[in-house]
Structure 1
Amino acid sequence: MICCLNPDCQNPLNPNGKKICQTCSTPLVSLLRNRFRVIRVLSDEGGFGRTYLSEDTDKLNEHCVIKQLAPKFQGTWSQKKAMELFAEEAKRLQELGENPQIPTLLAYFEQDGCLYLVQQFINGQNLLKELQQRKGYSAKEVQAILLDLLPILKFIHDRGVIHRDIKPENIIRRKNDGRLNLIDFGSSKQFTNIQNKVGTSIGSHGYSPIEQIRDGKAYPASDLFGLGATCFHLLTGISPFQLWMENGYAWVGNWRQYLRIPLTTELEIVLEKLLKKDIQERYQSADEVIKDLTYKQPLALPPAGQLTRKIPPTQAPDLPIKYTLLKSVVLVSAFILLFGFSETWYQQSRRIYASLAARLNQHNHRPDGEEALGQPPKTALRNIVLSHAIKGHENSVSSVAISPNGQIIASSGDRTIKLWNLATAKQISSLNGHSQQVNIVVISPDGKTLVSGSDDNTIKIWNLATGQQIRTLIGHSDSVHALAISPDGRTLVSGSDDNTIKIWNLATGRQIRTLVGHTFWVRSVAISQDGATLASGGFDKTIKLWNMGNGNPIRTLMGNTQTVTAVAISPDGNTLASASRDRTIKLWNLATGEEILTLVGHSNTVTSVAFSPDGTILASGSRDRTIKLWNLAKGEEILKLAGRSNTITSVTFSPDGKTLVSSSEDNTIKIWQLSQ
């Protein structure tokens, strides 16, 4: 189909090959700037133009967004103002696009009397649509949203930019990793510390503060008000614009009366200060909000490389306690006495006490005889050398898999799958068939079959030797991000953003059953070595264990405070490892579901985990751009591999355990050689 670029056209889609629009008789443009193919209209800008979903033919038809400015009234003040704002938006994206949570500017040009701005397409759903589907958010979820968005606001404010239109429609949750992205900088403006002139009123009523609506002035505190109003909307389900109209074009006097659920004291205090009418009483910077949201939490994450062990509440550790830790215990006890002996505070005190005991349990001895607590272990179990860095994908590499014979690497990225010789790092072939991004690839235990999952909602099965597509499995109604093949090679398991898990006969492609239980996107699956147990993790912060034989649920593991991004099962089938956005890795007893210990060391989301073939080492990749290797017997960090310029998306060991392969959003695959 060819899309008509006349912003007034009522039916812009036309069959291929047409030169003139069948609805409005406007000449059709097959490619803007001989590069961008417009697919369909995303939104109408009220006569000033439209926003279109498009394809970038220079990037393997990757999706992008094109904003069009086509004002009707040439030479008017409104046209001049619209052109100024449009140019400013392009400039802002050019300046701010280095942030991974802000769309990147791809092009800005004029053609046929219209201005066009081309930007990165964020594949996901805005928070307003998400709210309409789920009907509400918990206090913890809103706090997580705040902590995801506040660093973006700090980033733009540090560069002298005010967004001026913070609202749920302009916040998109990206499907591939769940991170929030801030879009639509059409209202953004450069600011100085002193603004004497009255500016143009801009923003969205109900979300914008009084100084912005009445006086046209905007400061970092103005964006923070919009963030507070957004959180109010998510918590109550009530539009601030609706309340703004009902209250005589003013913000409500008591926002708490609309709450559906109780808030934590910390969150209530933060929202109260975000929503202050008087700008002087409001938060002045994102840093101030982050400080109030984080420093009061009862249990902070330990330093990098440190291990937190679970100690039963009945077990009193008999350890020599140093003064500093003894003082911490006393302070905790005083805190409990001050606030009462409720069950909640008792449980929190036990967790804190267990954490302190764990720190004591792993102290190291310095050469001078002094004890050092919380220091990264000096164990040098293995050395590791980077042998190859492969850059063959146009964009982010989402996953890698190694064939059972250790000779081939399969990687997914863009809409393609690439096969590489592991020894030489040379490309063998490129497999094309998916219409959208390929998220995951796995290889069968016999090394004959490759399976891929994609944003096009399909699973494709390939002959690994020939690269020929065998069949396409259709059943999921949303993106496929997780795949696993049973050890006997007969069964395929897939996890999807439609919140379901499907089990397939790999040989025939027949769907066996659908597992329903997760309440949000399923992003990881793993099968035990005996083929009896399936583990799945998702955005609902849970891990679920299933009986592979009949599909019945075994139990749900609830210990993560954020999204479970990856799960893996040890070769002996005894241990489950899970990674999370809460920056931790948890190890569980697969048979009992008991949490064994928590590995803490990454400074951002842990995106992937993999056991070595002998089960002694765990590799983890993270959004902090590092890979860590852990000694599982001691619970120690062995090595940290840095040097990546973006998120690590996956890690995997070769069957002989001598090679580690990782992929990243920096478009590369790295091959590491391990030695004793």
Structure 2
Amino acid sequence: MSFPDRPIAQLLGSNGPVHAVTYSAGSGTYILTGSSDRSIRLYNPQPAIGTAGTAAKTKDHGFVTKAGHSRATIPQGRLIQTYAEHGYEILSLACAADNARFVSSGGDRTIFLWDVTTAQTLRRFGGGHAAGVSGRVNCVSFAGEGDSLVVSGGFDTIVRVWDTRSGGQGAGAKPIQTFSDARDAITAIVVRGPEILVASVDGRVRTYDVRTGRLTTDVISGTAGVTSLSLTRDGRSVLIGALDSRLRLLDRENGTCLRTYSSQEREGDTKRPVWRNEELRVQSLLGGRERFVVAGDEMMGSSNTKADTEPPASSQGSTPDGRVWAWDLLTGREVATVTVPWGPPGAATSSRSIGRDGREKERRNVTSCLAWQDGGWGDHFCVGGTSGVVTVFGPR
């Protein structure tokens, strides 16, 4: 299986950066996106009949793929529904297994449980100090039998478990369980049966077994925060992203690091990171039926463009396009670097952003959120970021 680097659709409509994307559960192809414009959008990435454009052509250069997306038309997916109740940016989304409900969280310290069809909220949790939530909620996940529970974590360092069947709403609702062991913000949560895996900026991954009451702590980095978790389907290993420009595959049974994934370029006698994740919460995941390790890119410096085998026509460092990186899970070898276009032709220059100093800001598509169809076992994946456009990729 080759890495699916062909752009097959773009999802438009957001008025700000996209912070969260997720596929419908199972083998479904519908996509939910959460944006800084406070809205959640549901898309069918398949273009309407007669509206599909011509997918971008790509060229392979060894193990690095450089796609000339800006010179081709990418079909636009269809917006199905918009969900608007949040008061601040959306930071996390999760679909229930029956695809009838989803849960969202964001900067307003509130967790919303939604009915997909009616676009109405069924439950609201948090939302103020009365419920104990004192900061933005970075991550949410379903848990329990029939997805009857929701687990949340965020800036206030506390993991909370909410009962979706309770009658409480908003600030009046109380979590049925809390975990307060983290010493810094919670950035990612993964639930598997009775286990809750929690990533924190304090450099730890904590696993709570709610059935036995056992807590297991893995120290990932003493100085760099952990920002991303992706669990293998058998539950034996977990992919961990941290703010030291490294991804790690950890054996959950004994805590051994099985493989490290990074990208470096030689400059004389030293090596400088090319793929970079040092400041922002950039997501990583397992895809291609667990053949690939995939990550976004915070694009913090123009030197990142040196990884491209064919630099864009514009000057180096000025292109607004983002990128997605992929490594072979078993060997750790870099297998693809895929360009993520800012948007349709002309979108990159259609508006200007002015900084406090009065100068125009350099536009970069920081690719911070990813999702792979069917939990990493499907044929497609999507990526969102600061451009506000979500790009869907599939096989050639």
User: How many Å separate the matches in 1 of 2:207 and 2:200?
Assistant: 12
Name the CA shift for 1:500/1:428 in 2 (closer, same or farther; >3 Å): same
Q: 2:78 aligns to what?
A: 385
Are residue 594 (structure 1) and residue 333 (structure 2) matched? yes
Q: 2:198 aligns to what?
A: 494
Q: 1:464 aligns to what?
A: 164
Counterpart of 2:323 (choices 584, 587, 595) is: 584
Q: 2:217 aligns to what?
A: 513
Q: 2:373 aligns to what?
A: 612
User: How many Å separate the matches in 2 of 1:305 and 1:518?
Assistant: 43
In the alignment, is the contact (CA less than 8 A) between 1:412 and 1:441 conserved in 2?
A: yes
Alignment of 1:219-618 (within 5 A): 311=62, 384-413=77-106, 414-432=108-126, 433=131, 434-444=133-143, 446=145, 447-466=147-166, 469-486=175-192, 489-517=193-221, 519-559=223-263, 560-563=275-278, 565-570=282-287, 572-582=289-299, 583-602=322-341, 603-613=364-374, 614-618=377-381
With a CA cutoff of 8 Å and minimum separation of 6, indicate the structure with the bigger relative contact order.
2
User: How many Å separate the matches in 2 of 1:539 and 1:550?
Assistant: 23
Name the CA shift for 1:393/1:449 in 2 (closer, same or farther; >3 Å): same
Please give the per-residue CA displacement for 1:624-649, whole angstroms capped at 9, x wherever unaligned: 11101001x23xxxxxxxxxxxxxxx
User: How many Å separate the matches in 2 of 1:503 and 1:588?
Assistant: 26
Name the CA shift for 1:572/1:555 in 2 (closer, same or farther; >3 Å): same
* Structure 1 runs not aligned, ≥5 long: 1-98, 101-176, 178-303, 313-354, 363-372, 635-676
Output the amino acid matched with 1:444: A
Name the CA shift for 1:595/1:525 in 2 (closer, same or farther; >3 Å): same
For the residue of structure 1 that corresponds to 2:86, the secondary structure is: coil
Q: 2:41 aligns to what?
A: none
1:311 deviation in Å?
2.1
Name the CA shift for 1:379/1:547 in 2 (closer, same or farther; >3 Å): same
1:575 deviation in Å?
2.1
1:471 deviation in Å?
0.5
Q: 2:389 aligns to what?
A: 626
For the residue of structure 2 that corresponds to 1:625, the secondary structure is: coil
Output the amino acid matched with 2:86: H
Please give the per-residue CA displacement for 1:135-185, whole angstroms capped at 9, x wherever unaligned: xxxxxxxxxxxxxxxxxxxxxxxxxxxxxxxxxxxxxxxxxx9xxxxxxxx
In the alignment, is the contact (CA less than 8 A) between 2:220 and 2:226 conserved in 1?
A: no
In the alignment, is the contact (CA less than 8 A) between 1:404 and 1:445 conserved in 2?
A: no
Q: Which runs of 4+ in 1 moved over 3 A?
A: 304-310, 373-380, 506-510
In the alignment, is the contact (CA less than 8 A) between 1:306 and 1:601 conserved in 2?
A: no
In the alignment, is the contact (CA less than 8 A) between 2:139 and 2:152 conserved in 1?
A: yes
User: How many Å separate the matches in 2 of 1:445 and 1:503?
Assistant: 16
In the alignment, is the contact (CA less than 8 A) between 1:575 and 1:590 conserved in 2?
A: yes
For the residue of structure 2 that corresponds to 1:615, the secondary structure is: coil
User: How many Å separate the matches in 2 of 1:577 and 1:586?
Assistant: 6
For the residue of structure 1 that corresponds to 2:206, the secondary structure is: strand
Counting aligned pairs with the same residue, the percent is 22
Please give the per-residue CA displacement for 1:536-586, whole angstroms capped at 9, x wherever unaligned: 112211111100222221122112134460012227222222112023211
Greater shift, 467-476 or 525-534, is seen at 467-476
Instruction: Please state which structure has a larger fraction of its residues in helix.
Output: 1
Output the amino acid matched with 2:392: L
How many residue pairs end up in the alignment? 273
1:374 deviation in Å?
6.1
User: How many Å separate the matches in 2 of 1:620 and 1:577?
Assistant: 11
Output the amino acid matched with 1:608: C
Please give the per-residue CA displacement for 1:496-537, whole angstroms capped at 9, x wherever unaligned: 111221122143553122333363121111101111210111
Output the amino acid matched with 1:449: L
User: How many Å separate the matches in 2 of 1:474 and 1:601?
Assistant: 38
Instruction: Please state which structure has a larger fraction of its residues in strand.
Output: 2
Alignment of 1:47-66 (within 5 A): none
Name the CA shift for 1:483/1:305 in 2 (closer, same or farther; >3 Å): farther
Name the CA shift for 1:597/1:606 in 2 (closer, same or farther; >3 Å): same
Name the CA shift for 1:587/1:308 in 2 (closer, same or farther; >3 Å): farther
Name the CA shift for 1:597/1:608 in 2 (closer, same or farther; >3 Å): same
For the residue of structure 2 that corresponds to 1:430, the secondary structure is: strand
Name the CA shift for 1:444/1:591 in 2 (closer, same or farther; >3 Å): farther
When normalised by structure 2's length, the TM-score is 0.62
Q: 1:346 aligns to what?
A: none
1:453 deviation in Å?
0.6
For the residue of structure 2 that corresponds to 1:398, the secondary structure is: strand
